[in-house]
Amino acid sequence: MKRCIAALLLFISLCPFLIHAEEGMWLLSQLDQLNLKQYGLKLKPSDIYNPDKPSITDAIVWLGGCSASFVSPEGLIVTNHHCAFGALQRASSEEHDYITDGFLAKTRANELEAIGMNAYVLQEMKDITDDILKSAGAIDDPVERDRIIKETIKATTEAIEGDRDDVYARIADMYNGKQYILFVYKRYQDVRVVYAPPRSIGNYGDEIDNWMWPRHCGDFTFLRAYMAPDGSGARYSPDNVPVAPKSYLKVAKQDVKDGDFTFILGFPGSTTRFRTSSSLRWNLNYSYPEIVHEYKEILTLLDDVTRDSKEGQIRVARLKAGLENTMKNFQGRIESMTKTNFLERKIEFESELTNFINENPDLKQKYGAVLSQIQALYDTLEMTKAQDDVLQMLRFSGTLPEIAVSIYGAVREREKPDSLRNPEFSERNIEKAKEKLHLHYYGYYEPADRAMLTRMLKQVAALPDDQRLSELDDIVAHIDGFVASAYDSTKLDNSEFAEALYDKSSAELEALGEPLFTLAARMYSARDAYHKRQEKFAANITNLRRRYIDALYAWKGTALYPDANGTMRFTYGNVAGYKPADAVCYKPFTTLKGVIEKNTGVVPFNMPPKLQELYDAKDYGIWTNPQLNDICVNFTHRCDITGGNSGSAVMNAKGELIGLAFDGNYEAMSSDWQYDYDLQRTISVDIRYVLFITEKFAGAGYLVKEMMGNK
């Protein structure tokens, strides 16, 4: 296997011209093959990533869904405003609405506990492909092979973590299981909010501007990570001290200019660059439109039930933000793919691949049936699609139903023989679920919960006869009555009561008299069957996708970075505008003047009055960009990113901090499927706008001084 990986890296070093220079979310172990000096990098690859001594990657932080970075020797972290949104929502109340008003800690003693947030810092990265694949031996059955590999991964990571709750180990597969890499992180469990600007800066333009250029958004928040005096990543305590990172980023000495080299280190979540037309067709014609439709309905429902309740609006704010963001992203994907005939072009590409394979008898024997076999697997999804859609959307049936389903499912899994359990099940994971359970209640608003459960049950009632969930017939026959009984006397709205239920048997849960556990029990068989279908599909499709990638190697022999999967990646490119349509040309910079011009005084363009005062007085401090004769707010550049990169540090050729990535552009929403050199752009907030807002607007010059010293 190591020979296979070495050959792959050889392709990268020999054939960089076969892809655009700026394309790719590269592993840290691939930096040496990218020849970055010729594109403008002033650093050596070992300055960026060095497993033996401090390097820039030691300053990069994962927040469990977003990216961030250390920017001072005392644990100060900068990320996007929307990445800290959950922490602000959990701390907010009708009396203290930190989402709307923002938050500033005048002293470290006043820093706000970021409930539920952890900061992870990479400690080790190691290729363990041989060890993982050896465990599966010569097993041919993809499902059994997948099961053994998952069991090996679970045993390996649990052994590394031991009883330390400040160590997190993850084994990630690359190239659909052709390579396995171990990542070990230090987990800091005490994270606090230092400064978050008001929403009218941090999310200026909201969903109207989301994914759009030009943008004028101050999407940033400062956090601080703390540790116990002994250096362990302890939970929140007044005795904890700021983390002393091995490395932290320095603010750039010069302003960003058009054409400047930039690079990003962050944690992109998921891409599908090496999928076939079968997957593309399924998502474009079924999955994406269905999700857009569902999310739109849920958002309307949430608006209706919280219209007259400030408490309700705060409670559902995090859920709404996530739904709105994903919905617009998928709308953009549909529009972009349709406009560019993306599916037809993918089919044409595969036709050329097929012709190449068929010309060689050996290749035809190996790969001739791969594309048709992949399509056959997708055809099986059609048979149970309506029921699967409902079961999948259970996560939007309300907080309490989701909790009941989760607890009941965990208990039933525990009661199975080892051979029949989900290979990733463990008592350790149940303990983690119990620890996190209370976080769900920060988003609980009973009227919204009732409405979402009612909506879900109506969807169950509307299923076609051949996919009916007959176990729920009596429930869906009296939906209003069932929902009323479920909430009128429930004890599940108490997190301590709910947590204790993990230790009961399924029979005890069913005997509680809680209608939501009756619902969970009735749905269990259908959900269990659904998960088994998904496991079988995933194992078989992954096996076929590996063979598809092998066919691509045989055809193109091209450079190949792995699809994003939440692990740290490097990407680079130059500052550049773009041309989205005929006679339209976007420059790569927006300024404070543009913020003022968009201001209407009405959400989401309700700029704070103080910002107008600073603009009128031209009280910009040292943050003016002399080329723009204004403060640069946002800029676009060619770095290749996706969801999960939010909050990523953007650095210049010297490795100095110049901004934070927070978005992509609407015209390139199909970028998870294919990189587009002409259209795809990263949108970042300029670090000088971050520091201008922090110093001049918030009056927090002490944070600027902490980052920059006396400069």
The residue annotated as part of the active site, out of 82, 92, 216, 630, is: 82
| Rounded Cα distance, 108 and 29, in Å | 38
Bridge partners of 686? 659
Coil, helix or strand at residue 528: helix
Asked if residue 575 lies in contact with residue 635, where contact means CB atoms within 8 angstroms, the answer is: yes
Asked if residue 266 lies in contact with residue 641, where contact means CB atoms within 8 angstroms, the answer is: yes
Kindly state the helix (H) or strand (E) to which residue 361 belongs, with its residue range: helix 361-367
| Rounded Cα distance, 46 and 39, in Å | 17
Say whether 646 is catalytic. Answer: yes
Q: What is the 3-state secondary structure (H, E, C) of 136-203?
A: HCCCCCHHHHHHHHHHHHHHHHHHHHCCCCCEEEEEEEECCCCEEEEEEEEEECEEEEEEECCHHHHC
Q: E strands along 30-137, which residues?
A: 60-62, 67-70, 76-79, 103-104, 112-113, 119-127
Report the length, in residues, of the chain: 711
N-to-C CA span, the chain: 51
| Rounded Cα distance, 189 and 164, in Å | 12
DSSP state for residue 563 in the 8-state scheme: P
The residue annotated as part of the active site, out of 97, 173, 209, 219, is: 219
Closest CA to 200 of 689, 606, 693: 606
For 233, what's the count of Cα atoms within 13 Å in the CB-facing half-sphere? 20
Q: Which long-range contacts (CB under 8 A, 24 or more apart) does 253-258 make?
A: 253/656, 254/652, 255/625, 255/626, 255/627, 255/632, 255/688, 256/575, 256/589, 256/625, 256/632, 256/635, 256/652, 256/658, 256/659, 256/686, 257/575, 257/627, 258/575, 258/576, 258/577, 258/588, 258/589
Closest CA to 661 of 680, 630, 687, 693: 687
Give the Å distances, CA to CA, from 203 to 314, 373, 645, 700: 16, 45, 17, 20
For 648, what's the count of Cα atoms within 13 Å in the CB-facing half-sphere? 35
Coil, helix or strand at residue 369: coil
| Rounded Cα distance, 405 and 640, in Å | 38
DSSP state for residue 625 in the 8-state scheme: B
Bridge partners of 103? 196
Asked if residue 72 lies in contact with residue 248, where contact means CB atoms within 8 angstroms, the answer is: yes
Say whether 82 is catalytic. Answer: yes
Give the Å distances, CA to CA, from 134 to 169, 424, 541: 20, 19, 21
Give the other-Cβ count within 10 Å of 621's Cβ.
14
DSSP state for residue 357 in the 8-state scheme: H
Does the bond joining 51 to the residue before it have cis omega, within 30 degrees of 0?
no
The residue annotated as part of the active site, out of 279, 646, 671, 684, is: 646
Beta strand 67-70 with 60-62 is antiparallel
Give the other-Cβ count within 10 Å of 372's Cβ.
10
Asked if residue 256 lies in contact with residue 650, where contact means CB atoms within 8 angstroms, the answer is: no
Which sign, positive or negative, has the C-alpha torsion 213, 216, 217, 218?
Answer: positive
Q: Which amino acid is at 648?
A: S
DSSP state for residue 284 in the 8-state scheme: I
Task: State the catalytic residues.
Answer: 82, 219, 646
